């Protein structure tokens, strides 16, 4: 009889488990299905920003009776989960994300257009530009992020006027590798993009409405080849300023140790530099040419699910609550990224670090979200890494351009 | 449901049980009652979500389980059922589902149903009429029909319209500030009512005038409306989409997307089953076949080399330590087991750092500043991967071999020596076959593990260096499993269908090898008899 008892115990566990397996996913996301009085909005939020949104969520519930259910999600999986869950009807009403997801999200048909109405004018231009995909706005922007040069002001007291000046100033301070930037075996085109734009070679041209045009590949323009030449000269067989063995961790360590005075990186690394006791100043990116070095801008925001049963409340919540200065400033405090709402951006810029990044951001261009960009990423970094490591710049760049062109079709 | 089980008790119970069996019967009933209650709850929840199939499966399984445990026979089933249910949920289902996905076009752009694709296409085809203002609106209701009470922002006059009737002036509307809030004959909806009828309101498009080119008013948030023109029209009968601006017709030709005559596709498409297309593509499309072939070869090389080298090294060390003349064996053993005791993730990342070309410990310290491209040269990266894997794997083989060697009776060696065999002969003819017959299952398991050794490849070098000659994001040290991962879960163009097809291939390979090796193992077992 003892056997049966154990068996039954095991069985109990099994059925409980299978019941959860079979019904578990249903139970978790049913918020959107019940259009009962008031209703519930399910919002997937990046784990670090849940607290920042609590105030806005509570205020909205109080005002309208609509419950806002903030679900903390892992930043690494939130996009894939969203794409996979929306068609099943188990997705959220609103999801937090970044503008460069837009190509993928629209191709999969999981986001609904968002009408910002007259409030569109209250946001930074780059934010609205990034939130727009093929002429339609899909995202409520809340933050703008771009890279800039972090300078160790104790080592080099004044900003560099050009790229060569930066290296010269660093060498004068007695450093062998004064400038570091994150690369890797497969390169890191995101961090090299400002130098490429300085040579007048953006990835794509823009059409009349200001959207990127996948048929107008500017990578292969004359500037592209000039950039490749310059990169080669700064690589292994040249000055050695760029090195694909310097990854994020090595670059960071060099700056924190004071063996590098300039570090081209984003706001996410400022905290650790300040914590390490470094007197950090944020400089514009020194250009190797006479033109400005324009980095990519990444814009973060909220998307509305195409399958949301609560689109009216969700739109209202996004446009009229999350688009207010208070909420944007709360989000700013949680992430230290420049707010996308102009008024909030101004308030936040009282901090010199934020002001520094936002000054560089004024030149920034939104990272293309079009699916063709995926084909570019695939070959881009590898080609740049090869050039840095001494491959022939002209031939490598030619191959890059033809590979990308071939992949776009 | 707990009660239903209780009522069954008299029927299923024998006469006059002793005290202990009454108690265990009670325990059984309570436990099964809990199980039944939970599954009934689950079934209810599922039925409420219109998930009939799953609900029926849950109930059927519960009924079966009750029958098995109340039956007085079926003793083996009582042992096996829990395991079988787990097997079904976590193995069989997953396998079948992966198999199913392998026959679909599931991936980027083919993510949902056709209906979802249509509504998504229509929603994103709405273009706001240029320079049109924001219209303050109140959602109103007349006998269940929804309408929009619109205030023209420039004139301040009120209009009302429904989905069928274009806007018409309402001279006697009531205003609150500059916004019309109610009209005679219409009931104004409160915000709560608006939320409750979200779906109707999202679908509501009020024609601006009789001319369709003026567009229609829609309200995304219930208080403001905007004028939109749709650039796509869906013809339900023909099942095709028409671009109203260019006149191009996109029709459904069975590829899971709306395709125009010139071959251009509207995205999103939808998910369909495509038969053996994914497998055919894997073997015929050169840009996929090339990587598939060399990745498969490398996967075999990696798995065989890893198992062989680990086993050889482990065995060698085990034999060395068996020698009675060895001193301090305990301490050596402790040291040798260390790689096994460290978390593999940590070791792999440390190796990755040590193998960095310019800054790594190996080049800087051991080779005095040499530039050896441990992880960036296609061939050397393969050697490095095997090297690290052997470092991680030999202690396990060492432990296994030590145990197996100790289990071989000393008399056998003595007998062989008496018969005139020398050291190598004894080892080759007596010990090794015995050893292999006991370790063969471990070797097969180790092969299967290394065949799918995702962690090592992903953490050490992420499959790199990248192969730039193919359109798939594969690298020179990618195994089949990490290639599947990259096809399915990285980049902007996911292809779950193709990835599932690959994983079916992996399954077939590993399964075939396991079957063959186990039948060979049986042959080895004969030796022991």
Taking chain A (409 residues) in runs of 10, the rounded mean pLDDT of each run is 44 48 42 52 90 88 90 90 90 93 90 91 91 90 94 93 93 92 91 94 86 88 94 92 91 94 93 92 94 93 93 91 91 88 92 92 89 85 91 92 84
B297 in a structural domain: yes
ipTM for the predicted complex comes to 0.78
Same domain, B485 and B377: yes
Chain B residue with minimal CA distance to A373? Answer: B492
Q: Are residues B477 and B342 in the same domain?
A: yes
- The verdict on A28 touching B (C-beta cutoff 8 Å) is no
Q: Give me the CATH number covering residue B60.
A: 1.20.58
Q: Is B102 helix (H, G, I), strand (E, B) or coil?
A: coil
Q: Are residues B121 and B202 in the same domain?
A: yes
Q: Pick the closest to residue A260 from B504, A269, B253 (CA basis).
A: A269
With a cut of 50, list the residues of chain B below it in pLDDT.
1-15
The contacts found for A217-221 with CB under 8 angstroms, 24 or more apart, are: A217/A401, A217/A404, A217/A405, A217/A408, A219/A376, A219/A380, A219/A400, A219/A401, A219/A404, A220/A397, A220/A398, A220/A401, A220/A405
* Buried/exposed A14-31: b ≥16 CB within 10 Å, e otherwise: bbebbbeebbeebeebbb
- Say whether B508 sits in a helix, a strand or coil: helix
Nearest to A112 among B41, B123, B356 (CB): B123
Would residue B191 count as lying in a domain? yes
Q: Where are the domains of chain A?
A: 11-145+297-365, 146-296+368-408
- The fold for domain A11-145+297-365 equals D-Maltodextrin-Binding Protein; domain 2 (3.40.190)
In this structure, are B369 and B511 located in the same domain? yes
Is the torsion defined by CA of B51, B53, B58, B59 positive or negative?
positive
In a domain, B278, yes or no: no
Q: Which residue has the tokens 């004068």?
A: A172
Strand partners, A111: A305
Name the residue facing B356 among A39, A135, A245 (closest C-beta). A245
A119 phi and psi angles, rounded to 5 deg: -70, -15
Where in the sequence is the domain holding B212, given as residue range(s)? 114-266
Among B49, B86, B199, whose Cβ lies nearest the Cβ of A26? Answer: B49
Q: Which of A107, A185, A371 is nearest residue B376 as measured by Cβ atoms?
A: A185
> B259 with B336, same domain?
no
Query: DSSP for A79-125?
Result: HHHHHHHGGGT-S-SEEEEEGGGHHHHHHTT-EE----GGGGGGB-H
The residue of A10, A23, A209, A306 whose CB has the most chain B CBs within 10 angstroms, and thus the best one to mutate to test that interface, is A23
Would you state the structure tokens that stand for residue A342, as one six-digit string? 């102009």
Q: CATH number of the domain that B488 lies in?
A: 1.10.3720.10
Residue entry with tokens 């396998």: B95
Element containing residue B135 per DSSP (H, E): strand B135-142
Q: Across the interface, which of A12, A21, A244 has its CB nearest the CB of B89?
A: A21
For residues B161 and B59, state if they share a domain: no
Q: Tell me if B491 and A377 make a contact (CB, 8 A cut-off).
A: yes
Residue B277 belongs to a domain: no
> B338 and B431: one domain?
yes
pLDDT at residue B527, as a whole number: 56
The answer to whether residue B6 is domain-embedded is: no
CB contacts, 8 Å: B25 with chain A: 1
**A146-296+368-408 shares the fold of A11-145+297-365:** yes
Within an 8 Å CB–CB cutoff, is residue A309 touching chain B?
yes
The pLDDT score that the predictor gives to residue B132 is 87
What are the CB-based long-range contacts (under 8 Å, 24+) for A284-287? A284/A148, A284/A149, A284/A159, A284/A359, A284/A360, A284/A363, A285/A147, A285/A148, A285/A149, A285/A194, A285/A195, A285/A360, A286/A149, A286/A160, A286/A161, A286/A162, A286/A163, A286/A165, A286/A166, A287/A162, A287/A163, A287/A194, A287/A195, A287/A198
Q: What is the pLDDT of residues B390-413, one digit of tens each?
A: 999 999 999 999 899 888 888 888
Question: What fold, for A146-296+368-408?
Answer: D-Maltodextrin-Binding Protein; domain 2 (3.40.190)
Does residue B7 lie in a domain region? no
* Residue B12 counted as domain residue: no
Other residues' Cβ atoms within 10 Å of the Cβ of residue A276: 13
CA distance A153 to chain B (A): 26
**Co-location of B337 and B389 in the same domain:** yes
**b/e per residue, B196-230, with b = 16+ CB within 10 A?**
bbbeebbebbbbbeeeeebbbbbbbbbbbbbbbbb
pLDDT value at residue A38: 61
In our burial notation (b when 16+ CB lie closer than 10 A, e otherwise), range B113-146 reads ebebbbbbbebbbbbbbeebeebbbbbbeeeeeb
Structure tokens at B159: 């209009």
CA distances to A77, A329, B495 from B484, rounded to whole Å, are 18, 42, 10
Q: Which of B51, B79, B101 is the last residue of a domain?
A: B101
Residue B29 lies in a domain: yes
Most A CBs within 10 Å, among B13, B120, B232, B477, to test the A interface: B120
Same domain, B356 and B466: yes
Question: Looking at B266, B291, B323, which one is the last position of a domain?
Answer: B266
Contacts of A373 in chain B (CB under 8 A): 492
Mean pLDDT, chain B, as a whole number? 86
pLDDT confidence of residue A95: 96
B291 and B204 in a single domain? The answer is no
What distance in Å separates the CA atoms of residue B202 and residue B189, rounded to the nearest whole number?
15
What's the pLDDT score for residue A6?
A: 46
Copy the structure tokens of residue A124: 């930074």
Number of helices and strands in chain B (H, E) = 21, 16
Interface contact flag, B196 A39, Cβ < 8 Å: yes
B207 lies in the same domain as B327:
no
User: What is the b/e burial string over A69-88, where b = at least 16 CB atoms within 10 angstroms of the residue's CB?
Assistant: bbbebeeeebbebbbbbbbe
Outline where B355-431 has alpha helix (H).
Answer: 361, 378-407, 410-418, 423-425
DSSP B510-528: HHHHHHHHHHHHHHHHHHH
The percentage of residues in chain B with a pLDDT greater than 90, rounded to a whole number, is 32
CATH code, domain carrying B133: 2.40.430.10
Binding-face residues of A in 222-281 toward B, CB within 8 A: 243-247, 250
**Interior/surface letters A209-228, b for 16+ CB within 10 angstroms, e for the rest:** eebbbbeebbbbbebbbbbb
Surface-to-core class of residue B321, CB atoms within 10 Å of its CB (0-12 exposed, 13-18 middle, 19+ buried): middle
Give the total number of structural domains in chain B.
3
- Residue-level pLDDT at B17: 54
DSSP H or E run through A366: strand A365-366
Are residue B52 and residue B123 in the same domain, yes or no? no
């Amino acid at each position: 009889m003892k056997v049966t008892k154990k068996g039954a115990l095991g069985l109990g566990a099994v059925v409980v488990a299978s019941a959860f397996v079979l019904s578990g996913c249903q139970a978790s996301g049913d918020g959107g299905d019940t259009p009962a009085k008031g209703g519930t909005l399910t919002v997937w939020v990046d784990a670090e920003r849940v607290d920042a949104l609590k105030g806005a969520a509570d205020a909205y519930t109080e005002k309208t009776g609509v419950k806002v259910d903030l679900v903390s999600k892992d930043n690494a999986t939130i996009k894939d989960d969203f794409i996979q869950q929306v068609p099943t009807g188990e997705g959220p009403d609103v999801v937090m994300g970044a503008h460069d997801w837009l190509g993928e999200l629209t191709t999969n048909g999981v986001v609904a257009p968002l009408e910002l109405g007259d409030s569109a004018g209250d946001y930074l231009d780059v934010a609205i530009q990034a939130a727009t995909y093929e002429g339609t706005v899909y995202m409520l922007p809340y933050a703008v992020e771009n890279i800039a040069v972090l300078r160790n002001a104790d080592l080099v007291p004044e900003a560099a006027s050009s790229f060569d000046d930066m290296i010269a100033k660093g060498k004068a301070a007695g450093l062998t590798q004064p400038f570091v930037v994150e690369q890797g075996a497969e390169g890191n085109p995101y961090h090299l993009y400002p130098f490429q734009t300085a040579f007048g070679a953006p990835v794509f041209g823009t059409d009349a409405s200001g959207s990127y045009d996948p048929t107008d590949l500017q990578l292969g323009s004359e500037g592209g080849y000039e950039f490749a030449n310059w990169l080669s000269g700064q690589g292994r067989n040249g000055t050695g300023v760029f090195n694909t063995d310097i990854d994020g961790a090595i670059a960071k360590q060099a700056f924190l140790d004071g063996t590098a005075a300039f570090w081209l990186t984003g706001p996410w690394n400022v905290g650790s530099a300040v914590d390490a006791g470094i007197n950090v100043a944020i400089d514009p990116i020194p250009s190797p040419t006479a033109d400005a070095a324009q980095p990519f801008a990444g814009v973060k925001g909220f998307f509305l699910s195409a399958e949301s049963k609560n689109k009216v409340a969700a739109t209202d919540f996004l446009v009229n609550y999350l688009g207010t200065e208070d909420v944007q400033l709360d989000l700013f405090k949680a992430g230290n990224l420049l707010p996308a709402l102009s008024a909030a951006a101004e308030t936040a810029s009282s901090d010199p670090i934020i002001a520094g990044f936002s000054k560089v951001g004024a030149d920034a261009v939104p990272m293309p979200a079009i699916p063709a960009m995926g084909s570019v990423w695939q070959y881009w970094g590898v080609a740049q890494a090869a050039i840095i490591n001494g491959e022939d710049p002209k031939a490598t760049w030619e191959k890059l351009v033809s590979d990308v062109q071939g992949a776009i079709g | 449901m707990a009660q239903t089980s209780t009522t069954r008790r008299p029927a299923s119970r024998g006469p006059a049980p002793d005290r202990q069996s009454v108690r265990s019967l009670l325990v059984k009933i309570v436990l099964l009652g809990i199980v039944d209650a939970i599954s009934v709850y689950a079934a209810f929840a599922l039925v409420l979500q219109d998930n009939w199939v799953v609900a029926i499966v849950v109930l059927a399984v519960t009924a079966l389980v009750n029958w098995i445990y109340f039956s007085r026979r079926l003793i083996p089933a009582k042992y096996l059922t829990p395991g079988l249910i787990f097997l079904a949920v976590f193995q069989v289902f997953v396998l079948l589902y992966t198999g199913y996905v392998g026959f679909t076009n599931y991936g980027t752009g083919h993510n949902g149903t056709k209906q979802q694709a249509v509504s998504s296409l229509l929603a994103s085809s709405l273009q706001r009429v240029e320079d049109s203002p924001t219209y303050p609106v109140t959602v109103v209701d007349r006998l269940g029909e929804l309408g929009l009470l619109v205030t023209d922002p420039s004139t301040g006059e009120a209009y009302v319209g429904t989905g069928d009737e274009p806007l018409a002036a309402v001279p006697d509307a009531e205003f609150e500030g500059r916004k019309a809030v109610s009209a005679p004959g219409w009931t104004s909806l409160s915000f709560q009512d608006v939320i409750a009828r979200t779906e109707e309101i999202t679908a509501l498009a009020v024609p601006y005038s009789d001319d369709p080119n003026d567009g229609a008013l829609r309200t995304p948030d219930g208080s403001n409306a905007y004028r939109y023109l749709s650039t796509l029209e869906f013809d339900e009968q023909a099942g095709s989409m028409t671009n109203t601006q260019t006149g191009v017709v996109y029709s459904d030709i069975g590829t899971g997307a709306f395709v125009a005559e010139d071959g251009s596709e509207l995205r999103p498409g939808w998910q369909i089953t495509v038969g053996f297309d994914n497998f055919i593509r894997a073997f015929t499309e050169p840009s996929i076949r090339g990587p598939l072939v060399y990745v498969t070869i490398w996967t075999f090389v990696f798995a065989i080399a890893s198992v062989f080298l680990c086993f050889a090294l482990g065995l060698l060390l085990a034999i060395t330590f068996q020698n009675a003349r060895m001193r301090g064996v305990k301490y050596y053993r402790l040291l040798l087991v260390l790689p096994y005791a460290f978390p593999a993730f940590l070791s792999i990342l440390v190796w990755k750092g040590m193998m960095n070309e310019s800054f790594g410990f190996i080049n800087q310290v051991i080779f005095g500043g040499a530039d050896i491209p441990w992880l960036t040269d296609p061939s050397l990266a393969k050697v490095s991967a095997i090297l690290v894997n052997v470092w991680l794997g030999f202690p396990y083989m060492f432990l296994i071999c030590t145990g197996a060697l100790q289990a071989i009776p000393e008399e056998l060696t003595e007998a062989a020596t008496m018969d005139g065999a020398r050291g190598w002969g004894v080892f080759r003819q007596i010990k090794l076959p015995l050893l292999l017959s006991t370790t063969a299952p471990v070797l097969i398991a180790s092969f299967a593990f290394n065949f799918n050794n995702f962690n090592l490849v992903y953490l050490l070098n992420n499959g790199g260096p990248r192969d730039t000659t193919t359109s798939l994001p594969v690298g020179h040290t990618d195994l089949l499993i990490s290639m599947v991962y990259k096809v399915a879960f990285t980049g902007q163009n996911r292809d779950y269908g193709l990835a599932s097809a690959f994983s079916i291939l992996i399954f077939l390979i590993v399964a075939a090898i396991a079957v063959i090796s186990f039948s060979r193992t049986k042959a080895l077992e004969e030796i022991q008899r």
